[in-house]
Structures are given as structure tokens and as C-alpha cells.
Amino acid sequence: MSSTEVAAPSQRTVNAVFLGLSLGVFLAALDGMIMMSALRTVADELGGLTQQAWATTSYLVTMTVSTLLYGKLSDIFGRKRLYLIAICIFTVGSLSCALAQSMYQLALFRCVQGLGAGGLFPLALAVIADMLPHPRRIGYHARLGAIFGVAGVAGPVLGGLFAGAESLLGVDGWRWVFLVNVPVGLAALAVVAVAFTVDSPRIAHRVDWWGATTLVVGIVPLLILAEQGRDWGWSSPTTLSTAGVSLIGLLLFVGVERAMGDEALLAPRLFRRPAFALVNVINFLGGIGMFAGMALIPLYLQIVRGLSASAAGFLLLPQAIAMPVGALLCGPLLARTGRFTGLLAGGLTIMAACFLALGLTESAALWQTTALVTMLGLGTGVYFQVVLTAMQNSVDRTEMGVASSLAGFSRQLGGVVGTAVTISMLFGLGAQRIAAEFHALLGSAEFAAASNADRTDGAAAEFLAGVRSGEVDLDDTSVLTELDPLLAQPVVDGLGGAFAVVFVSVGVVLSLAVLLTLPIRTRSLQSAR
């Protein structure tokens, strides 16, 4: 037996370890799903709906970068220690988020959450890879997909219920979106501490701290540009200097990665393998669609379709159930055929078609929208399962920790870019379209009657004052419930048109991902050892 191999664990040990891993994965999955139906309410309560991208992207940035570090650190110090640290950081971050008083505070505390979440799923994948050969891993990957399904069922419903509650046990209802993670985190901590008894291969690495730092310096300014560029002006000194900082950060990152060689966060040696490099690009594009859907569809259902947070949560249930179903259906096909290019292209094709249909059928009935969202979940489940198998199959066993982390990295990096850009597009286009809709009403007798002060006051009056001065404030869309229907309709129509453009754009990106799957050439699962 080589120094990198360990004795095969018993089935009882595998089951005990998997239980601990499952709780950690459930913790991360629940957090992502529960935010889907609650984010609009959270952002409205903190007065920053247009800034909501920060709450998502700040989480994804730290999650993305820390994912790579966890993979390398776990190869050095062992999976269990790093898994416990990840759970602790995530739980503390969740408690901090529940105490946030502004969107910027929430974004900061979501950074802490992301630092913990970065280790939960990829480390679970790496442990499974340590314990089991390729054919047996597929079944456990499918079980992890089922855990996402359970979280997907519970998350949107709980998020909607918490967001719709005025208070619970004396605490604002929306704060329970984060507080619910605390008992789950403590339970996961206890089970992992007791049940995790499997040793993983230990490999001495240099940790690429400079790579992580320069990657953050390169990515964060780009996100700031996506959020603020339209307000600053794309040729303004602020925009150009921010772009310059990002460019310098990315160039330094490339230089650091070359200098670090095999110890780099993104090891150049791995990316010289055509299949591995191409799968990462596809995973990046798929991540744009996956995370854009999670961010946009709940907003679309609540703002454009007029559903409450709880109703939107229930309507998202079919999508949440379809995701693990997609993963479970493709598992046996992968195990039997050992080929995954067709399945990967199929999953991405379903995702692309659903986004294009959502964008091109603005007047579709609600049941049709539900059917499209459900099919989107099915395609996402297939993509999520197959791209992970493709990634792990393209590296050696001693590189499983890094490869599993890179699977999360490229997908989450796509999520960072996709969320920031699509949210910025949505509210940028939305503000323009709403202003145009109101311009057609201004000066009309209907507008004067509907906006009479004795019918609209408070937040509604402030909103209308902004409209008259040429500014559309979308930071708190709960104002729509206070507006006369005649005045609320331009907001709904304007944002509806903006959603359509964004949905079609995401569909085009996913169509490109489909085309990139065609030249993939990799080993069959049966030939992998």
C-alpha cells in the first residue's frame, strides 16, 4: 500500500461518517434555499433591495476563495479538523447575520458565513472520494443531491413563512432565516466530532495565501463595477481606476499561480489537461445560470407575479424537488454507461431552454411559469451531478481534495459573476423602463387623481415624489402594496420587461455552455481507478 492510500473503511464507518457530512451539507444547502424566497423581504426591511446583490455576492466571493483553501488545507491537516472549523465559522456568521441592521452589515456578516460554507460541500465530496472508488461514489453523490432536495423543499417554505411573519418569539420573522442555522450547526458540530473517524491521505503542501489574496483583489473590484458602474459612468475616473485595480489583481494572481506551480490554488498543471480545463469553463457558465435562477426567480414571482413571500416559497417547491430528482435519475445512467457528455449537454440544454422560455413568454399563465421553473430544477440537478463526476474523473486520487474544491470554485465563481451582473442589469434596465412608463402617465388626470396626497402617504408619497423628479427608488418594493394599482402597474411592467431581457441573456450563456460540451473527451468511469 502506498503512502497516499488508506485501508478501506467498513460500511458501518462509511454510514457514520456520511451522517456527519450530511448534516454539514444540509446546513449549507438550507441556507442557500431559505434565502430564495426571503431575500426580497430581508432587503426591503433593511432598505436596500437594489443592494441585495451584495448580500449574495459577498457570500459567494468568500465561499468561492475559501473553497480552494479548504481543499488544500484539508490535504495537509486532515478533513475532519477543517470540517469542524467550517461548521463553527458558518454558525457564527449565521448568528451575526440575524443581528444585522443594514444591507451593508448583512453583506459583511454574509462574508463570514461564506468563509464557513466554502468548506462544507467540497470537503464532503473529498471525504467520499477518500473512502470509496468511482462507481460507489455516484450513489453517495446522489444521496447528497437528495439532501439538497430536502433542503430545497424545506428552505423556500421556511424562508417564505419566516419572511411573512411579523415576529416570532419576540424576534423579527425574517431574522429567523439566519437563526435557524444555529441549532442545525450545533447538531452538525456534535455529530461530526463523534462520528468522523476516517483518516484521509495527508499531503504536505504550501498554502497559496498570496494567490487567495490577489484573487480577491481581482474579483471584488469587478463586482463593485457591476453594481456601481452605471451610476459612476462607464468612462468616469472612478470606474477606470476600479477596473485598473481589478486588472492588476488578476495579473498578480496569474503571476503568483505560475510561481507556485503545483501548489497554486488553481494549479496550472491541472488546467493543461484539456478535459479538466473545458469542464471548468462549462461549470462556470452553468454556475451563472444556477445562481442567477436562485436570485432572480423568487424576485420575479413576488414583484412581477404579485405573490407573497410564503406563496412564492410554496411555488418554488416543485423546482426544489426536481433538482435532486434530476441528480438521482442520471446517477444510474452514469454508473451503467460510464459516459457523461450527453447527460451534461442535456442538463444544460434544459436549463437554457427554460430561461429562454421565461424571457419570451412574459404573459404566460402562472401554471406555465411553474412548469418552466420545475424543468429548470430538473436540468440543474442533472448539470450539478454530472459536472462533478466529470471533474473528479479527470484527476488522480491524490488530487481529489483540490479537484472537488475546484468543482465548487468554478461553479461559485460563475454564481458571483452571474448574480452581480444580472441583478445590476435587472435594476438598471428596470429603472429606465419604469421611468418611461411613468413618463407616459405624468400630467394625466388619472395620475393626478391616483397620486393625490390623501390616497398615498408615507413611503408611497416619497416614491411618487422621486418619480416626479425623474428618480425611481427601488430599494423598498414593499411600497407597491401602498400605491394605487394605476401607479403600481408601471413598476410591475417595467421590471417585468427587464426580467425578460435578463432571462434571455442567461439562456444565451447556457446555450454557449451546451456547445462547449461537444468536444469533451475524457475517460469512462469504468476505466477510472
pLDDT at 132 over 90: no
User: Do 222 and 298 belong to one domain?
Assistant: no
Measure Cα distances from 48 to 194, 283, 488, 521 in Å.
Answer: 42, 31, 19, 46
Higher local confidence (pLDDT), 355 or 211: 355
pLDDT in tens, 506-521: 999 999 999 998 887 6
Residues 438 and 417 occupy one common structural domain: no
Both 293 and 260 in one domain: the answer is no
**Does residue 294 lie within any of the structural domains?**
yes
The residue to which cell 434565502 is assigned = 35
Encode pLDDT of 408-450 as tens digits. Answer: 778 878 887 888 788 888 888 887 887 777 777 666 666 666 6
Is residue 352 over pLDDT 80?
yes
Cell of 231: 451610476
Whether the pLDDT of residue 187 is over 50: the answer is: yes
* Same domain flag for 243 and 330: no
- Give Cα 237 distance to the centre of its chain: 32
Greater pLDDT, 129 or 475: 129
Mean pLDDT on 69-85 = 81
Helix (H, G, I), strand (E, B) or coil at 90: helix
Strands 171-172 and 167-168: antiparallel
State residue 168's pLDDT score. Answer: 83
Please give the pLDDT value at position 478: 65
In a shared domain, residues 492 and 360: no
Do 118 and 244 share a domain, yes or no? no
| CB-CB contact of 156 with 162 (8 Å) | no
* Band (3; pLDDT cuts 50, 70, 90): very low
**134 assigned to some structural domain:** yes
CATH of the domain at 15: 1.20.1250.20
Q: Which three cell numbers stand for residue 296?
A: 432572480
Does residue 395 belong to any structural domain of this protein?
yes
Q: Is residue 1 part of a domain?
A: no
* Domain membership of residue 251 as a residue range: 209-264
Q: At which residue does the C-alpha cell 501548489 appear?
A: 263
204 domain residue, yes or no? no
Q: Give the whole-angstrom CA distance, residue 404 versus residue 29.
A: 17
* Cα separation, 255 vs 257, whole angstroms: 5
Q: Do 314 and 397 belong to one domain?
A: yes
d(CA 230, CA 246): 17
Total domains in the chain come to 3
In this predicted structure, which of 132-141, 256-265, 272-281, 315-324 has the lowest mean pLDDT? Answer: 132-141
The answer on 457 and 398 residing in a single domain is: no
At 171 the three-state DSSP class reads strand
Q: Above pLDDT 90, what percent of the chain?
A: 12
Q: Is residue 6 situated within a structural domain? A: no
Single out the residue of 425, 64, 420, 509 nearest to residue 222, CA to CA. 420
Residues 248 and 283 in one domain: no
Whether the Cβ atoms of residue 140 and residue 213 lie closer than 8 Å to each other: no
Give per-residue pLDDT as tens, 31-54. Answer: 877 876 777 778 777 766 666 667
Tell me the helix, strand and coil percentages in the chain, rounded to 5. 80, 0, 20
456 in the same domain as 334? no
DSSP structural state of residue 479: G
pLDDT for position 202: 62
Which element (helix H / strand E) includes 172?
strand 171-172
Which phi and psi (to 5°) does residue 172 adopt? -50, 135
**Which residues, at least 6 apart from 226, have a Cβ–Cβ distance to it below 8 Å?**
53, 417, 420, 421, 424
200 sits in which H/E element: none
Mean per-residue pLDDT, 135-154: 72
Let me know whether 299 and 244 are in one domain.
no
Residue 156 counted as domain residue: yes
- The verdict on 378 and 290 lying in the same domain is yes
Least confident of 189-198, 359-368, 438-447, 496-505: 438-447
In a domain, 4, yes or no: no
Question: What cell was used for 472?
Answer: 425611481
